[in-house]
């Protein structure tokens, strides 16, 4: 399976450098983010991605890419879904692709689970051909700042020169609407809400499941319906208490998913290992024997009358 590294160019114009500095100042560092600013969690977190449908004549594949920190770029590390052909049935239904007909995954499952590691930065990359069958001809990133001419991968192209250094939004996140039978704009279909209002997911949205959809940069239509998946938090592993913790007593706390706090302070109880019946009986016998021994010793120490 081929992987590519998307690299940021080191040469800047004065205007692009100023824009980069401005973005750096205005973008706060967050422990959790999932959207057009990047993907990052404050602890190892599994996300279930489920394919919905694809549209358009390009043949695409959706990848998870990771910033290795040591390099100025992102490397494809996991392919979630890929098209084996551009669509189910030619141009029918706007080149619709469904799972099992035009789309598949590495293990043949419509749902793929990926574990995002603690404090690592990721992005989703939609790689596409341009009608040639070559899978890595161009890309659209879920991270807006990567959708500019300042980023490149060898042998690929990205034709949105108007994006400049700030990049263009090529993915939407959340509870948006798509109308595959309409040529109306994304903004009109969503009641006046533009793509920029679907740029970030909350932890609550991830917990209940939500959508992510891409525009593959083909045709400059910005319809955001070229490749759609859903994302939902996967089950976290159950952490078992040790016998020592159970014996001495420990706390169990749960949190209601609301906002992004994950503070686990909403409901707290203490747990302690209850003594087993045999242990209790043995303890009673032991206490009885000790009391008898002390009573006998006390009688022996009393002077005779």
What are the pLDDT digits (tens) for 75-90?
999 999 999 999 999 9
Residue with tokens 């940069």: 217
Q: What is the pLDDT of residues 52-77, one digit of tens each?
A: 999 999 999 999 999 977 667 899 99
Of 193, 138, 137, 195, nearest in space to 169 by CA: 195
pLDDT at 263: 56
pLDDT tens per residue across span 108-165:
999 999 999 999 999 999 999 988 888 888 899 999 999 988 888 877 777 677 788 8
Largest Cα span, the chain: 116
With a pLDDT cut of 70, the percent of the chain lying above it is: 68
DSSP 182: -
For residues 242-265, give the mean pLDDT: 60
> Structural domains in the chain?
5-233 (2.60.120.400)
Look up residue 168 and give its two tokens: 């263009």
**d(Cα 287, Cα 211) in Å, to the nearest integer?**
65
């Amino acid at each position: 399976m081929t992987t590519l590294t998307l690299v940021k160019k080191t040469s800047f114009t004065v205007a692009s450098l100023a824009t980069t500095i401005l973005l750096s100042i205005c973008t706060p560092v967050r422990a959790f983010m999932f959207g057009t600013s990047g993907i990052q969690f404050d602890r190892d977190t599994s996300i279930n991605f489920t394919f919905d449908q694809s549209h358009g004549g390009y043949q695409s594949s959706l990848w998870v890419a990771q910033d290795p920190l040591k390099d100025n770029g992102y490397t494809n590390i996991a392919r979630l879904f890929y098209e084996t052909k551009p669509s189910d049935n030619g141009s029918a239904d706007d080149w619709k692709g469904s799972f099992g007909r035009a789309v598949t995954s590495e293990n043949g499952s419509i749902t793929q689970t990926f574990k995002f590691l603690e404090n690592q930065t990721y992005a989703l990359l939609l790689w596409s051909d341009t009608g040639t069958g070559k899978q890595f001809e161009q890309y659209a990133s879920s991270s807006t700042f990567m959708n500019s001419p300042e980023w490149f991968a060898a042998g690929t192209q990205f034709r949105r020169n108007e994006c400049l250094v700030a990049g263009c939004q090529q993915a939407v996140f959340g509870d948006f609407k798509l109308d595959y039978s309409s040529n109306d704009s994304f903004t009109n279909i969503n009641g006046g809400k533009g793509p920029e209002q679907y740029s970030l997911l909350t932890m609550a949205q991830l917990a209940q499941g939500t959508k992510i959809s891409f525009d593959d940069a083909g045709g400059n239509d910005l319809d955001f319906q070229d490749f759609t998946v859903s994302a939902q938090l996967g089950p976290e592993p159950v952490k078992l208490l040790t016998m020592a913790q159970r014996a001495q007593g420990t706390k169990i706390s749960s949190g209601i998913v609301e906002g992004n706090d994950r503070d686990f302070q909403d409901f707290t109880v203490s747990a302690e290992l209850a003594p087993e019946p045999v242990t209790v009986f043995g303890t009673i016998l032991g206490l009885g024997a000790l009391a008898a021994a002390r009573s006998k010793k006390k009688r022996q120490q009393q002077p005779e009358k």
